[in-house]
Structure 1
C-alpha cells in the first residue's frame, strides 16, 4: 500500500493591477480591478483605484456649472473684480488728497497746456490718460466727495451681479472698455476738455445690466429708473462730462448685446471677438483724432 500523497492543486492568487507582486483580494468598485492598499482610495462605497479617482475628478471639472451666459465658476463666488476696482478707486482718491499733482498727471485731457506752459494730453502721446482717468475722482470741484461716493455705491450695487453672470474676465473687459469708451467720446467731441471719474465705466455697467436683465427675463424697471435719473443729472448739472457718460453707456450696451445674445455654438468667438473689435475700433478713433490735432 502506497503512502505517497498527490500534490495539492495549484491556486491563482490575485495581485494588484499596478503592483503585480502584491497579493490582494480587494477590487475597485468602479473598474473591478484588484488593488493593493497603496492603490486604494476611499469612496462612498468601498474603494476605488487611483486611475478611477483621477478620471472622476476630470469629469467633475468638465461638468463645472455655467451661468446662463456661459461663465464658469461657483455661483456664490466672491466678486473679486468689483471689490478690487472699488479698492483701487479709493486708494487713488487717498493719493489725490495727499498729492493733487496726481490728477494733473493722470486725468483725461485730449490736448492741454499746464500752468508751466507744458503741452500735455493724449494727442501728445499720453494714451494712458484714456484709462487712468477712470480711477480718479473729483477732489474739490463742484461734485466733491459725492463723486466717488456715488460711483462706488453704484459699482457695489450692480457690479457683483454682472460679475457673477459674466465671469470675471468678461466683466473686467466690459468695465474697462466702457470707461475707455467714455474717454474716447470726450476726446472726439471736446479734445481740449478735462475730466476724471469712473462714471463712464459705471454707465457702461448700467447699460449692460439693462440688456442682460432683458435677456434673462429679470426685472429691469429699477435699473432703467436709475439710468434715467442719472442721465437727467448728467445734462442738468454743470461740470459733468456728458461725453464720458454717454460714451460709456453706448459701449457697455453694445458689448452686453454680444455677451447676452451670442449664439450658443459660437459663444466663445463672440465673447472674445467683440471686445477685441471694440478695442480696435476705439483705438482707431483715437488715432484718427490725434492725427487731426497734430
Structure 2
C-alpha cells in the first residue's frame, strides 16, 4: 500500500480511520465501512446522516417506519405450506371414503360428523369427543369440499409461511373446535359437517395479522363479510354458528400470536393457546350447568 494511498482519507472510513473502504454515504459522500452502512432507498447512508434523516421525519413517517421495522412474521417459515397441503389431502381422502357405496361411505360420515348430544353421555349414552375436530373432515358434497379446500389453499399458502407450521396447525385446529363449540351452544340438536369453522378462523387470523403488519385488509374484510351474511340468508344450508365460532377463535388466536412474537415470550404464547383450548372445553359444560341457555 503506497504512502499516497494511506494519506488519502477518502480511502478509509471517516468513523474508523484504520478501516479501508471505497463505499460512500449517498447523502454526505463520505467513505464508510460495512459496520457504518445502513441500507437506504438507493445505496447506503452513514450513522450521522441516518440520525439527521430521522430527526426531520414527521410523526406519521416515524409511526410508519416503526410499524414496518417490526418483525413481519410472527414466526417465519421457509418452504412449502406443508400443513395446508396435508389438511387438504386428508380432507379429500375422507371425502373419497364417504363416496364408497354399500353403506360404508355413509358409515364414515356418520362416525365423523359433529352432533352435539354425542358430547354428553347423560343425553345419548355415548361420548365421542373426537367429533369436535373430525366434523371438519367430512363434507356434504363436491362443491362443499371443493370451495372449502380452495379457500384453505388460497389462505394457507400465505398464512402458513407467515406463522410457521405448528402455529398454523394450532390455529386451524382451535378454529375448527371453536366452530363445533358454537354449534353446541347455539344449535344443539343440529348435526353439522364441513371445515367452514376452521376456514373462518383463518379469515379472522388473516385480518388481525394483516392489519398488524400494515397490509391492506379491505378486500379480506369484504370477502369475510359476504360469507358471513350468506350464512344468515334463508335457503342456504350452512351453519352460521360454526362460522361465527371459528371466526371468533381465529381472531383471538391471531391476537395472541401478534402480541407474543418475541422468542422470550414463547412460553407465554403456549400458555395462552392452552388457555384458549381449555376455555373452549369449559364452554362445553354450559349445557350441563345452564341447560336453559342452550338453543336447540
Shared fold by TM > 0.5?
yes
SS of 1:124's partner is coil
In structure 1, what is the equivalent of residue 33 of structure 2? none
**Counterpart-to-counterpart distance in 1, 2:213 and 2:203:** 15
Q: Deviations over 1:233-253 (max 9, x none)?
A: 111143211110000000000
TM (norm. structure 1) is 0.68
For 1:132, the equivalent position in structure 2 comes to 134
In the superposition, relative to structure 1, how do residues 121 and 128 fare at CA in structure 2: closer, same or farther (>3 Å)?
A: farther
Deviation at 1:232, TM superposition (A): 1.5
Judging changes above 3 Å, is the alpha-carbon distance between structure 1 residues 276 and 151 closer, same or farther for their aligned structure 2 residues?
same
Given the superposition, is the C-alpha separation of residues 86 and 121 from structure 1 closer, same or farther in structure 2, using an over 3 Å criterion? farther
Listed one character per residue, the Cα deviations across residues 28-75 of structure 1 (whole Å, up to 9, x for unaligned) are xxxxxxxxxxxxxxxxxxxxxxxxxxxxxxxxxxxxxx963442543x
Q: Say if 1:133 and 1:196, in contact at 8 Å, map to a contact too.
A: yes
Following TM superposition, the consecutive aligned residue runs of length 4 or more in structure 1 with deviations greater than 2 angstroms are 66-70, 119-124, 261-267, 287-293
The alignment's C-alpha RMSD in Å is 2.3
Q: Choose from 236, 242, 245 the match for 2:243.
A: 245
What is the CA deviation profile of residues 3-25 of structure 1, one whole-angstrom value per residue up to 9, with x for unaligned ones?
Answer: xxxxxxxxxxxxxxxxxxxxxxx
Count of aligned pairs: 215
Helix, strand or coil at the partner of 1:90: helix
CA pair 68-121 structure 1, distance change in 2 beyond 3 A: farther
Q: Shift in Å at residue 288 of structure 1?
A: 4.0
Q: Which residue, out of 270, 277, 280, partners 1:279?
A: 277
Deviations 1:254-278 (A, max 9, x none): 1101101236365313421221101
1:136-166 deviations in whole A, cap 9, x for unaligned?
Answer: 1113xxxxx2111110110011111111111
- In the superposition, relative to structure 1, how do residues 288 and 231 fare at CA in structure 2: closer, same or farther (>3 Å)? closer
Matched, 1:108 2:114: yes
**8 Å CA contact retained: 1:111, 1:123:** no
Q: Note the C-alpha offset of 1:96.
A: 0.7
TM-score, L = length of structure 2 = 0.67
Partner of 1:71: 75
Which of 227, 230, 236 in structure 2 is aligned with 1:230? 227
Residue equivalent to 1:87: 89
Question: Against the structure 1 CA distance between its residues 270 and 220, is the aligned structure 2 distance closer, same or farther, given a 3 Å change threshold?
Answer: farther
- 8 Å Cα contact 2:113-2:135 kept in structure 1: yes
Q: Which residue of 1 aligns with 2:255?
A: 257
Distance 2:207 2:152 in 1: 14
Q: C-alpha separation between the residues in 1 aligned to 2:81 and 2:195?
A: 18
